[in-house]
A and B are shown apart, each in its own frame.
Chain A
Amino acid sequence: MELLLFKHNRPDRSVTFDEYCDEGGFAALKKAIAGMSPDEVQQSVIDSGLRGRGGAGFPTGKKWSFVPRNLPGPRWLICNCDEMEPGTYKDRVLLEHNPYSLIEGMTLACYALGVRHAFIFVRRGYEKAAENLTRALIEAKEAGFLGERILGSEISVDLDLHLSAGRYICGEETALINALEGKRPNPRSKPPFPAIKGLWDGPTVVNNVETLANVPAIVANGPAWFKGLALNPEGAGTKLFCVSGAVKNRVCVELPIGTTLRQIIDGPCGGMAEGKKFKACIPGGASTQFMTPAQLDVPMDFDTVAKVGSRLGSGAIIVFEEGCCLVAATLNLITFFARESCGWCTPCREGLPFVKEILERIEAGGGEERDIGILREHVKYLSYAFCAFAPGAMAPLDGLLTHFEDEVREHILKGKCPFKG
C-alpha cells in the first residue's frame, strides 16, 4: 500500500531535512505558493474528504471554511499535540520520526487561512518530539519555508511551540486556547466557536497533528488521489492506528482508512498475544465504546464504526483478552476521567467520582442489582455536562452496559469478581 504519513520514516531515527526534501518534501508548499490561491488550497482539503484525526472526525476543510475572511485583526492556527487520550501515541511516533510534514502542513494551512502566527501545543512527556520540532523549525526557516516572505512571496508565517505541563483537558480545543493564553484551562462555552472567537478573541482553527500532516500530500497529489487511498468508498486517506493491550506486537502503523479490526490485529500486530483470545477492544482511545468479536470485520472509518455504536476516535486500539474483567477495565477508565475532570461543572466533577464508587463496589463484590440502573442513568445525564469530557467518559461505561451487562450482573450475583480466583 501507499504510505503518506510514514512515507519518510527511518526505522530508528528521525528523517533529516535533506532526506525529506529529496523525497518530495516541501514540494506542496512550493506548488501552492507558485500557482494556487489560498481558496484553492482550502478547496483541495474540502474535496479530499479529510476528517479530523484527533478523535472527533470533523471535516477539516469545512472547519477551515468557518473562519470569516473579512474580519480585521489577526487570526490563529493551533496544532493540537496534546495527545493525552489513554492508548493514543500516534502523534508522538509521527513526530519522533518526521517533524517536517507537520510543519509543511501548518504552513499550507496558514496560507489557506491567512494566518501569520501559529502554535504547536505539545503535551508533557513529548520532549523528544518537541526537540525534533525545534530543530525542524530552524531548518525550515533557514531554507525559506517559514518566517518572513516565504519562498520570496508576500506570505510570512511564524510558528512557535508551547510546551504544556500535563493535563488531559488541555486537548479540548477551547481549554487548549485558555491554556495557551496562560489562563486556567477550563473549557469555554460554545458558541462562540473558536473559528469566530478563539485565541485572544480572534478567529482560530485548532487541528490535530496527524490531520495537518496529511495536508502536504493532499495539495501535492490532489484530493482524488487522497480519497482513493481508502479501502471503503466513502472513506478518504490513511489512518495511524496505535495498538496496545493483549496483542503480540503493540505497534503504531499507517493503514488505509477502511482496514478492518481483524486485519489490523492479525496483520501488523501479529495476532493476539500467546495463548490469548480476543474478547473486546476500545477502538479509538479511552472515550470510545467497546467493540466485540462480532464487530471484528467492521471497516475502520468514522461512519462505519459509528454505525456499530462506537467511534473511530484517535485510532488508539486497546485490546482485551478473554479472562480480562471489563468491569475492572471500565473502572480504570472512569478513575482516569474522575481524576482528570477539570472540576468546572457539577455533572462531571461530582458524577464521575460517584460512578467510580459504584464500579468499585461492584468489582469488590458489594454491588446491587439497582446499581445497573443507576449507572445507566449516569450514562444519560452526564451528557448534560459543560463540554464533551463527561459524555466521552461515559462511552466505555455505555459499551460495558450494552455488550457486557451479563458480566456486570455476574459480579453482583456472585458477590465477587468472577475473574478472580
Chain B
Amino acid sequence: MIPDHLKKSLEERVAHAVSPREAAVDVMKVLQSHYGWLTDEAVGEAAQLLGLSRLQVDELATFYEMIYRRPVGKKVIHVCDSISCWSACCEAIMVHLQARLGIGLGGTSADGMFTLIPCCCMGMCGDGPVMSVGANFYTNLTPERVDEALELERRIGN
C-alpha cells in the first residue's frame, strides 16, 4: 500500500491530464521508485488510479525500458551498446562490469546493490562508452572509471 500523501499527489497528477491514462508513465515511475520495482501490487494501484485494468497497465509496463516488472538491485546499471558506444569499445566495458559484479547481463549483484542491463543509445554518443547508474550518468568509460563509479555509487547509496 502506498502512503496517503503519495496517493494524493498521484491523484492530482491524473486530474491534471487531458485523459487519465495520459498520466500512466508518470504514475508507474512514481510507484516504481516507491517499491523499488513495479510490483504486482503497484500495477493494481496504478490501474485503480488510471481507471484501467491491470492488463492494460501491464501492456504499458512491459513496453518501456525503464519500468522494471521484476525485482532489481538498489541501483540499475544501464550500459549503452548501440553503434557509437560500440565503436568506442563498450564491449570491453560490459565484460569488465560483469567480472567486477560477478553477474551476467540481467543479473543482480550478491549484495543486492546493482542490476546490470545493456541498453539502447542514450544520446551521449560523443562521450561514449556511456552508462547510467540509477539517475547518474558516467561517460568516456574505461575499466578504471567504471571501478570509480561503482565505488562512488556504493558510497552514496548507503
Bound complex: CA A220 to CA B147 (Å): 51
Whether A124 contacts B126 by the Cβ 8 Å rule is: no
Bound complex: CA A86 to CA B35 (Å): 31
CB of A164 within 8 A of chain B? Answer: yes
CB-defined contacts of A246 to chain B, threshold 8 Å: 87
Chain B's closest residue to A165 (CB) is B64
Whether B87 contacts A182 by the Cβ 8 Å rule is: no
Bound complex: CA A316 to CA B87 (Å): 14
Whether B66 contacts A166 by the Cβ 8 Å rule is: yes
CB of A251 within 8 A of chain B? Answer: yes
Whether A182 contacts B120 by the Cβ 8 Å rule is: no
Chain A's closest residue to B21 (CB) is A182
Bound complex: CA A168 to CA B82 (Å): 12
Chain A's closest residue to B82 (CB) is A86
Whether B120 contacts A162 by the Cβ 8 Å rule is: no
Report A240-255 CB contacts with B as 1/0, cut-off 8 Å.
0011111000111000
From A89, A167, A282, give the contact of B123 (CB < 8 A): A89
From A166, A184, A252, A282, give the contact of B83 (CB < 8 A): A282
From B28, B65, B84, give the contact of A244 (CB < 8 A): B84
Chain B's closest residue to A331 (CB) is B86
CB of A183 within 8 A of chain B? Answer: yes
Bound complex: CA A275 to CA B122 (Å): 28
Bound complex: CA A318 to CA B85 (Å): 10
Whether B67 contacts A340 by the Cβ 8 Å rule is: no
CB-defined contacts of B137 to chain A, threshold 8 Å: 125
Question: Closest CB of chain A to B119's CB: distance in Å?
Answer: 8
Whether B83 contacts A163 by the Cβ 8 Å rule is: no
Bound complex: CA A166 to CA B28 (Å): 13
CB of A361 within 8 A of chain B? Answer: no
CB of A127 within 8 A of chain B? Answer: yes
Whether B25 contacts A88 by the Cβ 8 Å rule is: no
Whether A86 contacts B87 by the Cβ 8 Å rule is: no
CB-defined contacts of A181 to chain B, threshold 8 Å: 19, 21-22
Whether A332 contacts B83 by the Cβ 8 Å rule is: yes
Report B80-111 CB contacts with A as 1/0, cut-off 8 Å.
01111011100000000000000000000000
CB of A286 within 8 A of chain B? Answer: yes
Given the contacts A87-B83, A332-B81, A165 and B67 also touching, CB distance less than 8 Å: yes
Whether A200 contacts B18 by the Cβ 8 Å rule is: yes
Interface residue tally on B, bucketed by range: 35 or more
Chain B's closest residue to A243 (CB) is B126
Question: Closest CB of chain B to A316's CB: distance in Å?
Answer: 7
Whether B22 contacts A182 by the Cβ 8 Å rule is: yes
Question: Closest CB of chain B to A364's CB: distance in Å?
Answer: 15
Whether A182 contacts B19 by the Cβ 8 Å rule is: yes
CB-defined contacts of B65 to chain A, threshold 8 Å: 124, 165-167
Bound complex: CA A166 to CA B82 (Å): 14
Question: Closest CB of chain B to A55's CB: distance in Å?
Answer: 14
Given the contacts A86-B82, A182-B21, A336-B120, A167 and B87 also touching, CB distance less than 8 Å: no
Chain A's closest residue to B86 (CB) is A332
CB of B77 within 8 A of chain A? Answer: no
Bound complex: CA A127 to CA B66 (Å): 13
Whether A318 contacts B67 by the Cβ 8 Å rule is: no
From A127, A252, A339, give the contact of B120 (CB < 8 A): A339
Bound complex: CA A110 to CA B17 (Å): 20
A76-96 interface with B by 8 A CB criterion = 83-89, 91-92
Whether B126 contacts A244 by the Cβ 8 Å rule is: yes
Bound complex: CA A296 to CA B63 (Å): 40
Bound complex: CA A282 to CA B87 (Å): 12
CB of B15 within 8 A of chain A? Answer: no
Question: Closest CB of chain B to A48's CB: distance in Å?
Answer: 27
CB-defined contacts of B119 to chain A, threshold 8 Å: 166
Question: Closest CB of chain B to A164's CB: distance in Å?
Answer: 6
Chain B's closest residue to A333 (CB) is B83
Given the contacts A165-B25, A242-B125, A87 and B84 also touching, CB distance less than 8 Å: yes
Q: List 16 A-B contacts (CB under 8 A).
A: A86-B83, A92-B124, A124-B66, A125-B132, A165-B28, A166-B120, A167-B64, A167-B65, A179-B25, A181-B21, A182-B21, A244-B126, A245-B84, A332-B82, A336-B82, A339-B120
Q: Which 4 A-B pairs have the closest CB atoms?
A: A182-B21, A166-B65, A165-B64, A244-B84
